[in-house]
Amino acid sequence: MLIIPAIDLKDGACVRLKQGVMTDVTVFSDDPGATAAHWLKLGARRLHVVDLNGAAAGRPKNELAVRSIVAALGDKMPVQLGGGIRDLDTIEKYLDLGVSFIIIGTEAVKTPGFLHDACGAFPGHIMVALDAKDGKVAVEGWSKMTGHDVVDLAKKFEDYGVEAVIYTDIGRDGMLSGVNIDATVALARELRVPVIASGGITDLDCVKALCEVEAEGITGAITGRAIYQGTLDFAAAQKLADKLSKKSEA
């Protein structure tokens, strides 16, 4: 089980939002590269980066910050990046910069053909992010709910060839209210590709609860506000996850 630190970028700074509201923002750092290096030093093995301005605008807005993150990490840790990536040229540019995985969210739902083309053009590098509330998918920075069932969409995107599905319960993200384990497991059981959990991770109990269902196909957990505010000790979380994963393999 990978515990994956999140860096959300807004106006070049590292921030966290509550439930995706762009005006409800807390700035944690003005130096994304240094923040990335911090998590690397603490033992992170992957980094989750979101261009919040890009997600809102529909095109990348924090490329300089992404460049600084990739430069700070070198080849020591993979970066998965999402937010406003809506065309193949942008994907190619970011992969050439050194980003390992591209996350497609809103555009996957609105224009499935784009996700299909991306998976074909860049196999092994495309993830899809599905943000849901009560089993229904939300798009455009969670500002619009759709009628799409999250399991049905995930199955379709799996057939396209996505590398993983990042699942966020938007009712819990940024609220430090615990992970929606039941919904995450229900999705993972329907898929062959890995599911990465996101939203609501608060403390070591959340990490333990996710590790207990790792065998269902949940391979990672993204955490943001908890590790910045201190309710979750990142190094301790990854150490616990590694310990529990080894125990389950024994």
Measured at the alpha carbon of residue 236, what is the angle toward residues 230 and 240, in degrees to the nearest 5?
135
3-state class (DSSP) for residue 28: strand
Catalytic-role residue among 8, 51, 169, 173 = 8
Instruction: Give yes or no: 131 in active site.
Output: yes
What is the Cα–Cα distance from 193 to 53, expressed in whole angstroms?
29
The two three-digit tokens of residue 11, written as one number: 């106006």
What is the Cα–Cα distance from 244 to 212, expressed in whole angstroms?
8
Instruction: Give yes or no: 11 in active site.
Output: no
48 DSSP β-pair partners: 6, 80
Are the C-beta atoms of residues 206 and 213 closer than 8 Å to each other? no
Catalytic-role residue among 51, 131, 169, 173 = 131
Are the C-beta atoms of residues 62 and 12 closer than 8 Å to each other? yes
Are the C-beta atoms of residues 103 and 80 closer than 8 Å to each other? yes
The set of catalytic residues is 8, 131
